[in-house]
């Protein structure tokens, strides 16, 4: 998402809160490995802030409950113009096709700075 004008640019230049969030789950018949990386980037695409937790491993035959991962960027340097959000994973059997973790409701919330 490129931040060009209006509210988006003002929110980022005041270095407000940026909170990526997503939910993921394993398939009930196979384990999964889920990975997430979110970066705040400058106009030259240089990283100004990174959130990359360790990969989440969900074992086969464990619950298939949805898990949530979130983070709040704050006190990051000025100049953010892009937010890069990448996530995905693989199943633990490496089956061909679409058998990795399920993902849903991914979002990025941009808000004012905390007092």
Output the CA–CA distances (angstroms, integers) from residue 15 to 44, 47, 62, 112, in the order listed: 18, 15, 40, 8
Is 110 inside any structural domain?
A: no
Is 57 inside any structural domain?
A: yes
The domain total for the chain is 1
pLDDT score of 1 more than 50 = no
d(CA 67, CA 78): 32
Beta bridge partners of 82: 2, 41
> What's the predicted TM-score (pTM) here?
0.80
Domain ranges, residue 40: 6-102
pLDDT on residue 41:
92
Is 48 inside any structural domain?
A: yes
Is 114 inside any structural domain?
A: no
Is 113 inside any structural domain?
A: no
Is 115 inside any structural domain?
A: no
d(CA 100, CA 110): 29
pLDDT tens track for 9-53: 555 665 667 788 889 888 878 889 999 999 999 989 999 999 999
Q: Which single residue is written with the structure tokens 């937010």?
A: 83
pLDDT on residue 4:
46
Is 52 inside any structural domain?
A: yes
CATH no. for residue 73? 2.60.120.260
Is 49 inside any structural domain?
A: yes
Helix, strand, coil tally for the chain in percent (to 5): 5, 50, 45
7 by DSSP, 3-state: which? helix
33: number of Cβ within 10 Å: 16
Task: Please provide residue 10's backbone torsions phi and psi, each rounded to the nearest 5 degrees.
Answer: -60, -45
pLDDT on residue 2:
46
| Cα–chain center distance at 55 | 12
């Amino acid at each position: 998402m490129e931040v060009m004008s209006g509210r988006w640019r003002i929110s980022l230049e005041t270095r407000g809160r940026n909170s990526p969030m997503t939910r993921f789950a394993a398939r009930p018949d196979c384990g999964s490995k889920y990975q997430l990386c979110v970066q705040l980037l400058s106009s030259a695409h240089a990283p100004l802030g990174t959130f990359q937790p360790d990969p989440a491993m969900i074992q086969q035959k464990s619950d298939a409950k949805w898990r949530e991962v979130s983070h709040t960027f704050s006190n990051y340097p000025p100049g953010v113009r892009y937010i890069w959000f990448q996530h995905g994973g693989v199943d633990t059997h490496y089956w061909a096709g679409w058998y990795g973790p399920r993902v849903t409701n991914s979002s990025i919330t941009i808000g004012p700075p905390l007092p």
